[in-house]
Chain A
Amino acid sequence: MTASELSARSAGPDPDDTVRDLHDEVVALARDLPAGLRRLTVRDGDRAVEVEWATGPAETATVAVAPVAAVVAAPAAAVAPAEPEGTPVRSPLVGTFYSAPSPGADPFVRVGDEVEPGQTVGIVEAMKLMNPIVVDEAGVVADVLVGDAESVEYDQVLMLLRPAGGAR
Chain B
Amino acid sequence: MIDRLLIANRGEIAVRIARACRELGIEVVAVHSTSDRHSAVVAMADEAVHIGPPAPRRSYLHVPNIVEAALRAGADAVHPGYGFLSEDPDFAEICAAEGLTFVGPPPAVMQQMGNKATARRLMAEAGLPLLPGVVEPVRTAEEGRAIADEIGYPVIVKAAAGGGGRGMTVVRAPEDFDEAFATTRAVARAVFRDPTVYVERFLSGARHVEVQVLCDAHGNGVSLGERDCSLQRRHQKLLEEGPAGHLTPEQRTELGRLAVHGALSVGYTGAGTMEFLVDGSGAAYFMEMNARIQVEHPVTELLTGVDLVREQILVAAGRRLAFRQEDVVPRGAAIECRINAEDPTRGFAPAPGRLEVLQVPDGPWTRFDTGYRQGDTVSPDYDSLLGKLVVWAPDRDQAIRRMDRALAEMRVEGPGVHTTIALHRALLRDPDVVADRHDVQFLDRCLPAVLARAASLDDAAPGLPAARGGLQLVPTPTADPRPDRSTEGEIPCPPRPSLSTT
Question: Which residues 23-63 in B have Cβ within 8 Å of A in the complex?
Answer: 34, 49-53, 59, 62-63
Q: Give the interface segment out of B9-17, B66-74, B184-192, B193-201.
A: B66-74
B64 near A: Cβ within 8 Å? yes
Residue of B nearest to A129 (CB): B64
By the criterion CB–CB under 8 Å, are A94 and B65 in contact? Answer: yes
What residues of B have a CB within 8 angstroms of the CB of A93 in the complex?
52, 62, 64-65, 68
Interchain CA distance A94-B66 in the complex, whole Å: 8
Is A21's beta carbon under 8 Å from chain B? no
The answer to whether B52 touches A154, judged by C-beta atoms less than 8 angstroms apart, is yes
Among B51, B63, B65, B94, residue most surrounded by chain A Cβ atoms (within 10 Å):
B65
CB-CB under 8 A from B68, the residues of chain A are 93-96, 126-127, 151
Interface secondary structure of A, over-half rule: loop
Closest Cβ of chain B to A37, distance in Å, is: 26
Q: How far is the CA of A45 from the CA of B66 in the complex (A)?
A: 53
A137 at the A/B interface (Cβ < 8 Å)?
no
Check B64 against A156 for contact (C-beta < 8 Å). no
Chain B neighbourhood of A153, CB < 8 A: 49-51, 69, 72
* Chain A 124-135 near chain B by CB (<8 Å), digits 1 or 0: 001101000000
Could you tell me the dominant secondary structure of chain B's interface residues? Answer: helix
Query: How far, in angstroms, from A140 to B371 measured CA to CA in the complex?
Result: 43
Of the listed residues A93, A94, A126, A151, the one surrounded by the most CB atoms of chain B closer than 10 A to its CB is A94
- Complex Cα gap A155–B72 (Å): 15
Q: How far is the CA of A33 from the CA of B59 in the complex (A)?
A: 33
Judging by beta carbons under 8 Å apart, are B50 and A126 in contact?
A: no
- Would you call B64 and A154 a contact (CB within 8 A)? no
Closest to B63 in A: A127
With a cutoff of 8 Å between Cβ atoms, the chain B residues found around residue A129 in the complex are 64
- Residues of A with C-beta under 8 A to B72: 94-96, 151, 153
Report B-chain residues with C-beta under 8 Å of the C-beta of A95.
64-65, 68, 72
Given contacts A126-B68, A127-B67, contact A94 B49 (CB under 8 A): yes
Q: Are B34 and A126 in contact (CB under 8 A)?
A: no
CA separation between A126 and B64, bound complex, in Å?
6
Interface centre among A93, A96, A154, A155 (most CB of B within 10 A): A154
Bound form: Cα–Cα A129–B72 in Å? 15
Contacts of A126 in B (CB 8 A): 64-65, 68
CA distance A126 to B51 in the complex (A): 12
CB neighbours of A155 from chain B (8 A): 34, 50, 53
CB neighbours of B62 from chain A (8 A): 93
Nearest chain B residue, comparing its CB with the CB of A152: B72
CA distance A13 to B294 in the complex (A): 70
What B residues does A96 contact at CB under 8 A? 68, 72
- The chain B residue with its CB closest to the CB of A58 is B34
Closest to A127 in B: B64
Near B by CB (< 8 A), chain A positions 59-88 give none
B34 cross-chain contacts in A, Cβ below 8 A: 154-155
Residue among A94, A127, A151 making CB contact with B51, cutoff 8 Å: A94
Q: In whole angstroms, what is the CA distance A96 to B94 when docked? A: 18
Q: Give, as a whole number of angstroms, the nearest-CB distance from B7 to chain A.
A: 15
As a 0/1 sequence over residues 403 to 435 of chain B, the CB contacts with chain A under 8 angstroms (1 = contact) are 000000000000000000000000000000000
A133-168 contacts to B, CB under 8 A, are: 151, 153-156
A61 to B177, CA, bound (A): 61
CA distance A96 to B69 in the complex (A): 10
Q: Which residue of A lies closest to B52 (CB)?
A: A154
Q: A94: which B residues are within 8 A, CB to CB?
A: 49-52, 64-66, 68-69, 72
Q: State how many angstroms separate the Cβ of A56 from the closest Cβ of chain B.
A: 12
**By the criterion CB–CB under 8 Å, are B67 and A154 in contact?**
no
Cα separation A94 to B6 with both chains bound (whole Å):
14
A96, A129, A155 — most chain B CB neighbours (10 Å): A155
Q: What is the CA–CA distance of A153 and B52 in the complex, to the nearest angstrom?
A: 8
Closest B residue to A131 using CB positions: B64
Question: Which A residues lie within 8 Å of B71 (CB)?
Answer: 151
Q: Complex formed: what's the CA distance from A96 to B65 in Å?
A: 11
**How far, in whole Å, are A93 and B49 apart by their CA atoms in the complex?**
11
**Can you list 27 pairs linking A and B with CB atoms under 8 Å apart?**
A93-B52, A93-B62, A93-B64, A93-B65, A93-B68, A94-B50, A94-B51, A94-B52, A94-B65, A94-B66, A94-B72, A95-B64, A95-B65, A96-B72, A127-B64, A127-B67, A151-B71, A151-B72, A153-B51, A153-B69, A154-B50, A154-B53, A154-B59, A154-B65, A155-B34, A155-B53, A156-B50
Given A93-B68, A94-B64, A96-B68: 7 more A-B contacts, CB < 8 Å? A94-B72, A126-B68, A127-B94, A153-B51, A154-B34, A154-B53, A156-B50
Q: Which 10 A-B pairs have the closest CB atoms?
A: A151-B72, A94-B65, A94-B68, A153-B50, A127-B64, A126-B64, A154-B50, A126-B68, A154-B52, A95-B68
